[in-house]
């Protein structure tokens, strides 16, 4: 079964850090471009970052550039998002998602993990 499972969510204080993980199974992880997307409560989807299958190309949305770092470990079929200098507005459900070809949509999604930033 094709599956992505996020973990690492929880509560954090403004200015704090959180590291999200995403474990992949059921597909050839090292052929997939991986993406992080978030959704604030009751709101729409926000694309955050992607990393190509080899990790050679990375992009970030302006809203997280300089604060968040995406990485992957193909040997462990895992994707990560290191979130530093968290803000209240980073409170959201964070999804990892994958695509065999990044032009052709995100065809594998995790169930999401919730991050709450408050003092």
Partner 1 sequence: DIQMTQSPSSLSASLGDRVTITCRSSQSINNYLNWYQQKPGEAPKLLIFAASSLQSGVPSRFSGSGSRLSGGRSGTDFSLIISSLRPEDFATYYCQQTYSAPHTFGQGTKLEI
**Chain residues that interact with partner 1, rule: CB under 8 A:** 35, 37, 44-47, 50, 59-62, 95, 97, 99, 102-107, 109-112
Instruction: Output 16 or 67, the one with its CB closest to partner 1.
Output: 67
Please tell me the distance from the alpha carbon of residue 41 to that of residue 61, in angstroms, as a whole number.
19
Instruction: Output 13 or 40, the one with its CB closest to partner 1.
Output: 40
- Residue labelled with tokens 């991986």: 34
Pairing of strands 45-51, 58-60: antiparallel
Please tell me the distance from the alpha carbon of residue 71 to that of residue 19, in angstroms, as a whole number.
11
Closest CB 105 distance from partner 1, rounded Å: 4
Closest CB 107 distance from partner 1, rounded Å: 5
């Amino acid at each position: 079964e094709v599956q992505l499972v996020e973990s690492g969510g929880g509560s954090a204080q403004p200015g704090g850090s959180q590291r999200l993980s995403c474990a992949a199974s059921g597909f050839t992880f090292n052929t997939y471009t991986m993406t992080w997307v978030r959704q604030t409560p009751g709101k729409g989807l926000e694309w955050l970052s992607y990393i190509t299958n080899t990790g050679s190309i990375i992009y970030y949305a302006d809203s997280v550039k300089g604060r968040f770092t995406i990485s992957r470990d193909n040997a462990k079929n895992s994707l990560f998002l290191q979130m530093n200098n968290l803000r209240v507005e980073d409170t959201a459900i964070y999804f990892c998602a994958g695509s065999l070809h990044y032009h052709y949509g995100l065809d594998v999604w995790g169930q999401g993990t919730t991050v709450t930033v408050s003092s």
